[in-house]
Chain A
Amino acid sequence: MTLKIPLRLALLFALAFSGYAQHSVLLDAMSQELDRNFNVLKKNADTPAYFMSYEVTEVEYRSLNATLGTVEPLNEGRRRALDVSVRVGTPQLDNYHRVRGQGGANQGRFTSGSALTFEDSVDSIKRRLWLDTDSAYRAASERLIRIKTNSQVRVAEADDSADFSSEPPSVFEQKPIELKFDANAWRERVRKLSARFENYPSVLTSHVAVASQTDTRYFVNTEGSRIRHGRGFARVVITASAKASDGTDLSTFETFEAVEASGLPSEETLNAAVDRVANDLTHLLKAPDAEPFVGPAIFSGRAAGVFFHEIFGHRVEGHRQKDESEGQTFTKSVGTKVLPDFLSVVFDPTRRKIGNVDLNGWYDYDDEGVKARPVTAVENGILKTFLMSRSPIKGFDHSNGHGRREPGLEVVSRQSNLIVQSAKAVPEATLRQMLIDEAKRQNKPYGLYFEDITGGFTTTQRAGLQAFKVIPVIVYRVYTDGRPDELVRGADIVGTPLASFAKILATGDKPEVFNGYCGAESGSVPVSAVSPSILVSEIEIEKKAKSNDRPPLLSEPTVMEGKSGDKGGMR
């Protein structure tokens, strides 16, 4: 007995070790070519390179899309994209320096996300690295010369912090994640799921999609970092759309995310989700239009998550603080109160789950090879710090592991898992009563309850309107006179950020997760927003733009055919 355990442990250790130390042809080729190129480029007299990195993103995916019991062929593939970073000049002033100009600042673009062979063909890999290094270096030298001119003619910048922070090198090699997806089983599952929409004649179009993907990132830099890490993504997306008699396009959806396809919900849960998507849509078709309204509202946890992601999260992204074309809502607010004192906001890429829900915004290392860590942005209402990449800003000299990108674009600071924590949490029923009380106090016949939301957007630049818009799908009027809640449609929430925070009165006690993909300068990155529901004393909704097209002129063809007994073939 006593011997068995150590033996098994030793065996496990050996297995784990061999996996861990698995020789990576790609990483070796990357670090050899990095050294070879850097040794020449750092000695070039005109514009010596002082830093280089290579990042290769390897993606393997499989997905299936079904409509009304029919399934499209399996979509699958594997690819690698290469991102090269070359810095010339000095960390204080290099080719990534933000240049002020018309139409906002830009930091230049040097990488192209070229396709790299997905096989371990050293010649093919090295040649691509060499050619892309050459073009990145060329672009870097040219831009540094332009920047030097620009910084001489313009007035001094308010934030004169350096362009690149120093960070300790990271060395980490994880075994690449294996893509697991049982295509045959899923084909039948999505076929059956999508066929359920046949029971809902008012649904015009519907789709059920499932996708499974692995990302493996390979990173080397001239400071000695050498990283291989990865993660999986799996997702089920159920969507439906319909057209109301006045032309309004309506759509509902439901998504489920997990790290692996095997972690996606059971058939029962998915069946229920299809029914909910279809029923919500059917109810929306009959629901009255929302009227423009100013008054109290509850955001469900998912809706509140998106609300915070848009109006708060994007405004604490570090690089915006030194970009003078940005609104810089919070640039000078560190140490001061920006949210009600019962709220804290943490960005935690190391958190993989909330309850039993997998989060979408986690990673081990960011795209600059900096180790992921939790960042408390707001503690008890007080702004503590920003989300940082390796681009320093005044008062914040280092990265906190939030430099992210989609392959082919340059890194900027981005959100990860946004988690709203509340010290003034009340049970949902209490929150609802507080909504009714607040509506009465304001002499409103009802308050609003935003149950679900498709997403939102915000403008952070000075040249634009400093505002946000959040697009709810399911909205209820909660009447003060005890009438049942009433579903309404066609409302957009609009507002300005600072005014909105001050109106948060309390929160619910159950965190909900919104998993999604966030798009910004550095492309689309996976994120999560986690929040309890929140009660706000005042929110404004406006009418949504709508289509003036009539619904289909002819009735659904196969239903009609069945009813009339006509088998088609009319001529």
Chain B
Amino acid sequence: MSNRGAGTRACRAETHLGACGRQQHRSASARVPAPRLLAGLFLTLAAFGQDAPPSNEPLFRAMRDELARSRQLSIPNLESPYYIEYGIDEQETFSAAASLGGLLSQKRERFRTPFIFVRVGDYKFDNSNFGGGRGSAYDLEAFPIENSYPVLRRYLWLETDSAYKGAVEAISRKRAANRNVNQNDRIDDFAHAEPLHFIRDFKPLVVDESSWANRIRSLSGIFTKFPEIQESSVDLEVTEGGHYLENSEGTEVKTPESVTMVRARASAQAPDGSTVRDFAFFHALDPKAMVDEADMTREVTTMAQNLVAMAHAPKGEDYNGPVLFEGQASAQLFAQILGENLTLVRRPEGGRGAGAPPGDLDGRVGARVLPESFDVVDDPSLKEYKGKTLFGGYEIDREGVPAKRLQIVEKGIFKNFLLTRQPVKGYEGSNGRARYPAGGGTSAAGISNLIVTSSETVPAGEMKKKLLDLLQSRNKPYGIIIRKLDFPSTASLEEARRVASAQQGAAHPVSVPLLIYKVYADGHEELVRGVQFHGLTARSLRDILMAGDDAAELDFMDSPAPFDLIGLSNFTMEASVVAPSVLIDELELRPTDDEQPKLPLVPAPEISH
């Protein structure tokens, strides 16, 4: 019905409920939730293993009973399922958004999103990883939120039926497509995993709606004091919920997830018309642990001041030389050039789609990727680091595999990728890193708490001096210090595309830096804007000259989207990156190719108070 301007008009009572009926409801519930996993609960050994009694919750009973019955699914001459999985994300959210002291929206929602997958064939060769499959054959709308056993059974019954029919169709197409392909080095389609029983209750959403609404309203009002700032908004999301998983191997998992986040973003126009942007994001696992209002106000005000300074700053020039990444910027750098390269993507079979280009670290296990003094671990079990709460912990991944500490880099040598139950070349068997649904019954891996440390450090306060020394020895007029990157990015989709295409060929392009300072021999700094990296990849990490003795923590919602672009991926997960400041030799920066719309003809309206 949204065939706008194509000359086709339609009137259907059934589908044309417009803003008045189910349509709205659908848009709310069709949204894939952004589950977040919660660390901080005690893991008892008794929770593991098969001995624990099955959960008596109606949802688990319905999943268990329908799953057992669905093993009998068959169509004459076609195989029965060898594996069935019911994954259900549940989310209760209070969200609100405000701009310049006025609320734009305020909403409370609660919904479940099912991920139902049936595998036919066997672990070696099944229907997965082949095309997108197909949607539901039945008009089921949202997954029931009330725990009525018969209604839950019905939903699962019809969705399993639909998934099974899709599976037998897909495997026959996959077999046909594979007939023309050399199968010598074929890897399995699905890795075995131990059954697991792990049940933790979700927390109820307790939120003081009006006080939160007041807080974001007043935070958004800060921007009224900065007339040069054009667009600005502050949004809030408080979510409780979690993930249910039941599979035919006997795994039964319920893991709670909670997160609170406040995101302030703003943009302004430089005199040449280019847009400058900045943001201040705040995350917490528990709303009560959130940064208090006074600190938020201070940080948002600083961000607004920085943004105005950026709008007045000169555009940067071509640069080749050492770059110092301070604190947060270093964590943002590692999140991208290391974090995003830790997954291996399996190419879809049957010549469908080229798949993702190989990552910077593909084939480099055992090779040196960082200076010898560096160690990196991904540790979902870690609750805090140097007294600060970490944001990316979890116990069990989306596929029901327990997650343990994983050494990523040891003494500069690359050790491990993040793996799910989808085998990839050279690796079979999950290490519990399935964090995102990835279509076709597969999951995508992602980092949890990525901790970067160095055994050889210099005091962080002396890093700038080290940079100046280096400039002097190289006879360079100035060096570059970067204090903030645009990550997770608040760019528009168009801008993100421009930035990515300027780094042509990079499997994981790096977002633009926001706070960029030229630093001169006498130590004075000059803010510049509008430059981006060229050729900055995971390989650049080998050129790290020194690391600080500091450890900046970046908490963020990670996603498979490029630059973790806000709003591009519906499915995001908590992650933390901790890293020291680093000085990297010989990086290249180039001016960005910006759109330069004219400044508004009409001056901004005056602020009324």
A: which residues have CB within 8 A of B? 33, 36-37, 40-41, 44, 59, 61, 63, 65, 67-73, 75-79, 104, 106, 115-131, 133-134, 137-138, 204-205, 207, 209, 211, 213, 215, 233-235, 237, 239, 241, 251, 253, 255, 306, 309-310, 314, 325-326, 406, 409, 454-461, 463-464, 471, 514-521, 523-524, 526-527, 529, 547, 549-550, 552-554, 556-558, 561, 568-571
Contact = CB atoms under 8 A, between A and B. Distances in A.
Contacts of A116: 104
A134 B24 contact: no
Contact of A461 (B7, B18, B146): B7
Contact of B144 (A67, A253, A455): A67
Given A33-B605, A40-B602, A239-B139, A557 B11 contact: no
B25 A70 contact: no
Given A523-B4, A556-B154, A569 B65 contact: yes
Interface string B214-225: 000100110010
Contact of B14 (A33, A211, A251): A251
B22 A209 contact: yes
Contacts of A556: 154, 157
A207 B22 CA distance: 10
Contacts of B156: 557
Given A70-B146, A547-B137, A211 B24 contact: yes
A537 to B, nearest CB: 25
A569 B68 CA distance: 7
Given A118-B104, A211-B20, A524-B1, A131 B231 contact: yes
A55 B132 CA distance: 42
A122 B146 contact: no
A75 B65 contact: no
A105 to B, nearest CB: 9
A40 B605 CA distance: 12
A67 B8 contact: no
Chain B interface residue number, banded: 35 or more
A131 B605 CA distance: 10
Nearest to B150: A558
B602 A310 contact: no
B161 interface: yes
Given A556-B154, A557-B65, A207 B141 contact: yes
B5 interface: yes
A237 B21 CA distance: 8
Contact of B142 (A36, A65, A122, A310): A65
Contacts of B146: 70-72
Contact of A237 (B8, B22, B110): B22
A41 B14 CA distance: 45
B42 interface: no
A145 to B, nearest CB: 14
Given A63-B25, A123-B608, A557-B69, A519 B103 contact: no
A205 B103 contact: no
Interface string B89-118: 000000001111111111111110000000
Nearest to A239: B14
Contact of A459 (B7, B13, B144, B165): B7
A554 B70 contact: yes
B10 A209 contact: no
Interface of B: 1-22, 24-25, 28-29, 54, 61, 64-66, 68-70, 72-75, 97-111, 137-142, 144-146, 148-151, 153-154, 156-158, 161, 164-165, 217, 220-221, 224, 230-231, 597-598, 600-602, 604-605, 607-609
A116 B148 CA distance: 40
Given A457-B8, A518-B16, A556-B157, 5 more contacts: A68-B154, A133-B602, A237-B13, A406-B18, A554-B70
Contact of A123 (B12, B16, B101): B101
Contacts of A406: 18
Contacts of B144: 67, 70, 72
B600 A134 contact: yes
A41 B7 contact: no
Contacts of A59: 19
B4 A409 contact: yes
B1 to A, nearest CB: 4
Contact of A519 (B3, B137, B140, B154): B3
A209 B21 contact: yes
Given A123-B224, A126-B605, A553-B75, A72 B5 contact: no
B165 A124 contact: no
16 contacts: A78-B106, A79-B104, A117-B99, A118-B103, A123-B102, A127-B99, A127-B100, A131-B231, A207-B141, A209-B22, A211-B22, A237-B17, A461-B7, A557-B157, A558-B150, A558-B153
A482 B602 CA distance: 77
A454 B14 contact: yes
A418 B61 CA distance: 53
Contact of B22 (A63, A68, A568): A63
B578 to A, nearest CB: 36
A77 B105 contact: yes
Given A65-B141, A519-B2, A568-B64, A554 B103 contact: no
Contacts of B102: 117-121, 123-125
B139 A455 contact: no
Contacts of A123: 100-102, 221, 224, 605, 607-609
Nearest to B144: A70
B41 to A, nearest CB: 26
Q: For the complex of A and B, list the 6 residue pairs with the smallest distance between their C-beta atoms, beginning with the closest.
A: A117-B102, A455-B12, A121-B102, A124-B102, A461-B7, A568-B65
Nearest to B16: A517
A398 B158 CA distance: 55
Contact of A130 (B54, B110, B151, B604): B604
Find the residue from A138, A460, A520 having the highest chain B CB count within 10 A: A520
Contacts of A122: 608
Contacts of A325: 7
Nearest to A75: B25
A233 B247 CA distance: 45
B151 A69 contact: yes
A61 to B, nearest CB: 6
B4 A127 contact: no
Find the residue from B7, B108, B601 having the highest chain A CB count within 10 A: B7
B266 to A, nearest CB: 12
A441 B473 CA distance: 106
Given A123-B608, A205-B139, A569 B157 contact: no
B10 A124 contact: no
B105 A79 contact: yes
B100 A121 contact: yes
A130 B3 CA distance: 31
A554 B66 CA distance: 10
Nearest to B169: A549
Given A205-B158, A556-B157, A569-B68, A67 B151 contact: yes
B158 A456 contact: no
A549 B19 contact: no
B608 A557 contact: no
Nearest to B29: A72
A457 B153 contact: no
A233 to B, nearest CB: 5
Given A211-B17, A570-B65, A61 B24 contact: yes
B338 to A, nearest CB: 37
B14 A253 contact: yes
Nearest to B13: A516
Contacts of B145: 70, 72-73
A520 B6 CA distance: 8
Contacts of A70: 144-146, 148, 151
A314 B157 CA distance: 43
A409 B24 CA distance: 18
A552 B1 contact: no
A459 B8 contact: yes
B111 to A, nearest CB: 7
B5 A104 contact: yes
A523 B20 CA distance: 14
Given A133-B602, A461-B7, A557-B153, A454 B13 contact: yes
